[in-house]
Amino acid sequence: MDELLDGKYKAYRKKVREFAEQVIKPVAIELDKKEHFSVELARKMGDAGLFGITMPLDLGGQGLDYLSYIIAIEEVARVDSSPAATIAAHNSLGLTPIYNYGTEKQKQELIPGLCTGEKLWAFGLTEKNAGSDAKGVETTADLVDGQWVINGSKMFITNAASDIASGITNLAVTGQKGDKPELTAILTPRNVPGYKTVPLHDKLMWRSADNAIMTFDNCKVPEENILGERGQGFKIMLSTLDGGRLSIAAMGLGLAQGAYEMALAHSKKRKQFGRPISEFQGIYFKLADMATKIELARNTLYNACKLKDAGLPFGKQAAMSKMYCSQVAKEVADEAIQIFGGYGLLRENHVERFYRDQRLLQIGEGTSEILKMVIARYELK
């Protein structure tokens, strides 16, 4: 698939790969060890144009298509998943719903500042009792004297607690529609009283990404902070997740590519019984399987991106891409560790981090089990 891409995509891939290799890779192991989200690195990513990739030029964005954005995430994840998660969550989940559903005033006030790396925005769906069951949201927002009064909590939220985290698109219960909750998306800036974040530590994966628990204690925001229409929140969140799933698929693809390249290089250098282990059938069969899976994953993902860029339905393909790419990441990372042997279990080798980071991809933005349900429903229509 890559060989058939327009030259502009190849040039863009080269540009992002050079940035990832020169700026992200040298600090990846240390940031992972310290569990440190680097604001400095986020700002460098902003300077490199990795925020607002698909936003229009007149709003401060890069004006690129979705495939370009996916290639950018793929190339960053090829080196380190934590900054790739920062880019994916901010672009797909932070900026996209504001651009797609915001008023002109909301867009002008928020989007330009979110394209620079000086501010990040979060997506508030997941709660203690709301994840796969997205309608299980318990955070409430009551309209009192022209203000939304928000109470509740969110968890596992990316780009939520650092010094440059500036707010969240908050899904909250704003009433009842018969026996069902009325769910509304509300833009909630961080500077309002009662807004609290607690960084998550001791994570298996994404140890240098900014993930947090959030609480809202009588947070008051103006009525005009509603995103879209009242009661439209569930639709907004789910439509946002379709595009977000492509970004998680890209993380899986990039991680698999990086793990494969490391395993391939190691197999050529590591000698046993007087020759490189790449010459043994047990190893080169593994490499052949890994390369094939990556090629199929890339074809599946890029096809979904082409559909999205063409304005065609892509929800089923997004679910397929996310499910398959995350599975390929798991399988390739596991085989990479096997090829490295004991050396792959040491933190000084990047492949060890890749093995840990892949595990979230089968959970976040739709578990593999939920995605199978999504795909089956499309097929049974």
pLDDT tens profile 90-146: 999 999 999 999 999 999 999 999 999 999 999 999 999 988 888 899 999 999 999
Cα–Cα distances in angstroms (integers) from residue 78 to residues 154, 259, 288, 336, 350, in the given order: 29, 8, 19, 14, 11
Q: Give, for 170, the enclosing helix (H) or strand (E).
A: strand 165-177
Per-residue pLDDT of 59-81, as tens digits, reads 999 999 999 999 999 999 999 99
Per-residue pLDDT of 299-346, as tens digits, reads 999 999 999 999 999 999 999 999 999 999 999 999 999 999 999 999
Exposed, middle or buried: residue 60 (CB in 10 Å: 0-12, 13-18, 19+)? middle
Measured CA to CA, the distance from residue 339 to residue 331 in angstroms comes to 12
User: What mean pLDDT is reported for the chain?
Assistant: 96
Measured CA to CA, the distance from residue 48 to residue 42 in angstroms comes to 10
Say if strands 180-189 and 140-144 run parallel, antiparallel, or are unpaired: unpaired
pLDDT at 2: 65
Residue 5 pLDDT class (50, 70, 90 cuts): confident
Per-residue pLDDT of 347-363, as tens digits, reads 999 999 999 999 999 99
Measured CA to CA, the distance from residue 300 to residue 146 in angstroms comes to 47
Residue 6 pLDDT class (50, 70, 90 cuts): confident
pLDDT at 44: 98
**Considering Cα of 253, then 168, then 140, then 202, what sign does the dihedral take?**
positive
Cα–Cα distances in angstroms (integers) from residue 372 to residues 241, 249, 265, 299, 367, in the given order: 15, 15, 35, 19, 9
Measured CA to CA, the distance from residue 86 to residue 331 in angstroms comes to 24
Measured CA to CA, the distance from residue 308 to residue 152 in angstroms comes to 34
Question: Comparing 87-96, 184-193, 235-244, which segment has the lowest mean pLDDT?
Answer: 235-244
Q: Which domains does the chain have, with CATH numbers?
A: 2-115 (1.10.540.10), 122-232 (2.40.110.10), 235-380 (1.20.140.10)
Q: Which of 75, 229, 365, 369 is catalytic?
A: 365
Percentage, residues of the chain above pLDDT 90: 93
Question: Comparing 103-107, 176-180, 267-271, 316-320, which segment has the lowest mean pLDDT?
Answer: 176-180
pTM of the model: 0.95
Is residue 379 over pLDDT 80?
yes
pLDDT at 179: 85
| Distance of alpha carbon 357 from the chain centroid | 12
Is residue 1 over pLDDT 70?
no
Of 163, 280, 271, nearest in space to 210 by CA: 163
pLDDT at 131: 84
Name 342's Cβ contacts closer than 8 Å, sequence gap at least 6. none
* Mean pLDDT along residues 145-160: 97
261 is known as an active-site residue? no
